[in-house]
Structure 1
Amino acid sequence: MILNIYVLIALGVLLPKGGTADAHNRKYVVCYQGTWATYRQSNGKYDVNYIDPFLCTHLVYTFFGIEESGELRVIDPTLDLEENGGHGNIRKFNALKLQNPTLKTIAAVGGWNEGSRNFSIVANDPERRQRFVRSAVQFIQRHGFNGLDLDWEYPNQRHDLTFDDKNNFVTLLRELKEGFKPFQYLLTAAVGASPATASISYNITEISKYLDIINVMAYDIHGAWDPATGINAPFYASKNDITEGSRQLNLDAIIKYWLAQGAPREKLVVGVPFYGRTFTLADAAQHSVGSSSLGPGTAGQYSLEPGSIGYNELCERMRTEQWQVEWDEVQLAPYAYMGQQWVSFDNPRSIGLKAQYAKDNNLGGVMVWSLESDDFRGICGGEKYPLLQTINRILFDGRTATGLTQSVLNMAAESIQRPVAPGYAVAPVVGSHTPQQGIVLDPRDGGVCTSQDNGYVRDKHDCGKFYYCNQGMAHSFNCPHNLKFDLESTTCNYPQSVDC
């Protein structure tokens, strides 16, 4: 399908009214994808082609690693890259922007399995920090991402080093931001949520200066590591939370803490889980929140991790198994039990309440972990992505994050037969299965959109990167790997054919 941006703008669905968006009103839907789900079996298998690029404002590719030297590391070359017969997952992921011109893609470095030690070593050394900045810039340029997400879990924790991670993290973010500035790359982070964790790891006021989006992981509050059952991502404190510390372990208290410590409201994004935490009850007859647990509950049939189960896995099971579902009126979350199995999870109702909270409190939006755990096939209720769709309906008043949908694209495709406005040229992007079209005016020098700019502008630093300008707002694009944006033909073309 060919995307006619001129038609989309005429329909009033591509950009906010006036071509700009107030930072305090803009809402993000940040979607992490666990790329390893491509190896899952049957209905759990999740590839890039299952991603709906219109339900997220930012897509985050997880994960890449960090070497002790400061180099960024590709963890699964066969999946991620195209060399040596690889699957080319990164290229496919970034090609989703050819369907949705407002979508941003971000490369995530870190994660729980990557650990904390290498981050600490790199952040403590000026030479290693600069090597990491250079490596990150080169990686983003090569693969066509829009930015980097740091998922260091966690500064000053999970290692035996004596470095000052809290301040070194600030320095690392500042140097990354400086290195990204010429290219306007985004810098985001997934952060430990609770006051107990955050106070050890972060100078919140300082890190907020350099981060464009702060993804607060307000989940894993309770799990099989606890001696009793608990809600994975509670909204408010429960009657069992009698200590000051335990009363801070809920979404409302977490967000209030981050705001009080200096996090800008518009950068703070509420993290919600698309998975549940499972327990094995000590006594099947005692199944309320806070009941004694023997340890992890059954694993999801696709994710195969004891103590955890995706929403898609759980809702499938509930169709054939006799689970009893309850609603915690205080913590505003569901839980369920069957025999000695007990699970705390989020459903459309609880997810909707959290999205409404983000909206009512003028927060940046909602982050989801992670796409492959939603009911992406629509097996349970007929609607694909019921959790993600709920977030979109609430944050955007019944529309998607950009107003774009498949039906709008179909309208655009049908309109291609109509004459294009005088003075404009329409041309496809070479080297993609999904060509892209749009308004093309005489390119401006400098690569910066002014309020008068309308059309495509090539980046002055990177010939493989270009922008679509509309009344001062820039939407960035990257040509497929090894192609350059040709100002004469207004296509992504082979380097030898481009004057760059």
Structure 2
Amino acid sequence: MASWRRVVFGLILVLCFSGESIVSMAAIKAAYWPSWTNSYRPPSSIDTNYFTHLYYAFLEMDPLTFKLRISPNESVLLSEFTAGIKQRDPRVKTLVSIGGGGSNSTAFALMASSKPSRKIFIDSTVEVARKFGLHGLDLDWEFPANPNEMASLAKLFFEWRGAIEAEAYSSRRPRLLLTAAVYFSPKFFLSDTPRSYPSKAIKYHLDWVNAMCFDYRGSWDTSKTGAHAALYDPKSNISTSYGIDAWVRSGVPQSKLVMGLPLYGRTWKLKDPNVHGIGAPAVGVGPGDTGVLTYTEVVQFKSANNGTVVYDRTTVSTYLYAGDSWVGYDDAQSTVGKIRFAITRHIRGYFFWAVSYDQDWEISRQASEAWGHH
């Protein structure tokens, strides 16, 4: 028995000093909650049975002071978010996401370029997290524009992790989680300015990254329909399978990779209603605001227009068409297919953009059941 105890103790030491723990390796079933959806999907209404982590989206950084900007209304929303989730299920971790697709990338670059401005930003984020009872912080900088900005990002991650470790030690509280939302691939191979994320800094300083595995196709190309979150693309590397595998090849551990799943679709107007497959000729965006429908709106559109639904095995995606309207999206079947892929890749879990867009928790529930206890 003594030898077994020594083996177990040794394993515990290895886990501790490798930066991982048995608890931290639990599966992640996450989702972002857009604060502007509060009127129809307040935090208290979220069915927390299907999630382990929920993100408040978004807080902005003041481009002049580099501190987080919180209006009186934002303060109320943040308080309602943490209180509402805690009341539903205190085991669910809450994080705040900073930035977002509409944020000022140039301001992030300026903040990250010097140690004093990074410290101001970091201190502000920790202060906000503790004030509102959050469990963690998430950076959604879309996107560092060149190799220099990626190098600044690595420094930011290093100093941020050091700061939250020190704060946890001095305050005797659990350490704040630190995550980031990132491009679907570690390398921006489609860009005129090729650059790559600092994989080593991610490996050592972040708890995990949320790879945004969606928006591969959309309103910026109205010439043909597309699966905007294709798991596979036989014609290109613009796919979730390529992105996830590339992240692993870059040196980011599978235990720090979380796969993004969309709860919305992108729409096109077909050139010919009789030609309606993926890649069919199109002449513009279809229904929805700028060619986007939430999953709830997709369900409603299908019902109102007697749409025809097709599951595409090649891309592991779903689309529907009605007249000259075409919508590419993920339903429960394609979502479960992607989750099975994620399980085979032994990555940490998945996240949804965005929790407010589901229809009666249909996809959230089936995703959670498909992942099970992996």
Q: Are the equivalent residues in 2 in contact too, given 1:53–1:97 (CA < 8 A)?
A: no
Residue 73 of structure 1 corresponds to: 69
Between 1:51-60 and 1:365-374, the stretch displaced more is 51-60
Larger-gyration structure (1/2): 1
CA distance in 1, matches of 2:99, 2:48: 24
Retained in 2: the 8 A contact 1:359–1:395?
A: yes
CA contact (8 A) 2:185 2:247 kept: no
Identity %: 28
User: In 2, are the aligned partners of 1:336 and 1:343 still within 8 Å (CA)?
Assistant: yes
1:356 aligns with 2:352: no
Given the alignment, which residue of 267, 282, 290 partners 1:293?
A: 282
* Structure-2 residue corresponding to 1:129: 118
Tell me the distance in 1 between the aligned counterparts of 2:157 and 2:309. Answer: 44
Equivalent in the alignment of 1:31: 31
d(CA) in 1 for partners of 2:304, 2:21: 46
Q: Distance in 2 between matches of 1:200 and 1:339?
A: 42
* SS class of match (1:298): coil
Q: Distance in 1 between matches of 2:66 and 2:326?
A: 43
Deviation, 1:197, is: 2.2
- Residue aligning to 2:157: 173
Partner of 1:222: 217
Alignment of 1:325 onto 2:309: yes
Alignment of 1:71-470 (within 5 A): 71-74=67-70, 77-78=72-73, 80-81=74-75, 88-95=76-83, 96-156=85-145, 164-181=148-165, 182-183=167-168, 184-194=175-185, 196-197=187-188, 200-226=195-221, 227-238=223-234, 241=235, 247-299=236-288, 305-375=289-359, 384-396=360-372
Quick one: which amino acid aligns to residue 325 of structure 1? V
| Shift in CA distance, 339/196, structure 1 to aligned 2, threshold 3 Å | farther
Counterpart CA distance in 2 for 1:142 and 1:25 is: 27
CA distance in 2, matches of 1:267, 1:316: 36
Contact 1:122/1:128 (CA < 8 Å) preserved in 2? yes
**Following superposition of structure 1 onto structure 2, how do residues 477-488 of structure 1 map, counting pairs within 5 Å?**
none
Q: Distance in 1 between matches of 2:216 and 2:250?
A: 20
Alpha-carbon distance in 1 for matches of 2:345, 2:38: 36
Contact 1:165 1:201 in 2 (8 A): no
CA 1:185 to 1:25, structure 2 compared with 1: closer, same or farther past 3 Å? closer
Give 1:190's aligned amino acid.
Answer: A
Unaligned regions of 5+ residues in structure 1, if any?
A: 1-19, 40-44, 82-87, 158-162, 242-246, 300-304, 376-383, 402-500
Deviation per CA, 1:308-333, whole angstroms, max 9, x where unpaired? 00111111222231211112121111
Given the alignment of the two structures, is residue 46 of structure 1 paired with residue 41 of structure 2, yes or no? yes
Q: CA deviation at 1:372?
A: 0.8
SS at match of 2:102: helix
- Give, in whole Å, the separation in 2 of the partners of 1:201 and 1:93: 34
Cα deviation 1:69-125 (Å, max 9, x = unaligned): 211112x532x22xxxxxx22122112224423211001000011131110000002
Residues 403-439 of structure 1, C-alpha deviations (whole Å, 9 max, x = no match)? xxxxxxxxxxxxxxxxxxxxxxxxxxxxxxxxxxxxx
Asked whether the equivalents of residues 25 and 362 of structure 1 are also in contact (C-alpha less than 8 Å), the reply is no
| TM-score, structure 1 normalization | 0.65
Contact 2:179–2:208 under 8 Å retained in 1: yes
The alpha-carbon deviation at position 203 of structure 1 amounts to 1.8
8 Å contact kept, 1:111–1:152: yes
Q: Residue 434 of structure 1 corresponds to which residue in structure 2?
A: none
Q: In 1, Cα distance between the equivalents of 2:21 and 2:67?
A: 36
- Which structure shows the higher helix fraction? 2
Q: How far has the Cα of 1:196 moved from its partner?
A: 4.7
Runs of at least 4 residues off by over 4 Å: none
Q: Rate the CA distance shift 1:351–1:205 in 2: closer, same or farther, 3 A.
A: same
Structure 2: segments with no counterpart, 5+ residues:
1-19, 169-174
Q: Report how many aligned residue pairs link the two structures.
A: 341
- Write the distance in 1 (CA, Å) between the matches of 2:88 and 2:80: 11
Q: What SS does the aligned partner of 2:319 have?
A: strand
SS of the residue corresponding to residue 144 of structure 2 reads: coil
**Counterpart Cα distance in 1 of 2:151 and 2:187:** 17
Paired AA for residue 219 in structure 1: F
Please list the CA deviations of residues 278-310 of structure 1 after superposition, one character each: whole Å capped at 9, or x if unmatched. Answer: 1112222221111222222111xxxxx221001
Bigger mean CA offset, 270-279 vs 90-99: 90-99
State the AA in 2 paired with 1:288.
G
Deviation (angstroms), 1:223:
1.0
Cα displacement (A) at 1:335: 0.8
Given residue 31 of structure 1, which amino acid in structure 2 is its aligned partner? A
Question: 2:116, 2:325 → 1: CA distance?
Answer: 51
Equivalents in 1 of 2:206, 2:358: separation in Å?
28
Per the normalisation by structure 2, the TM-score is 0.87
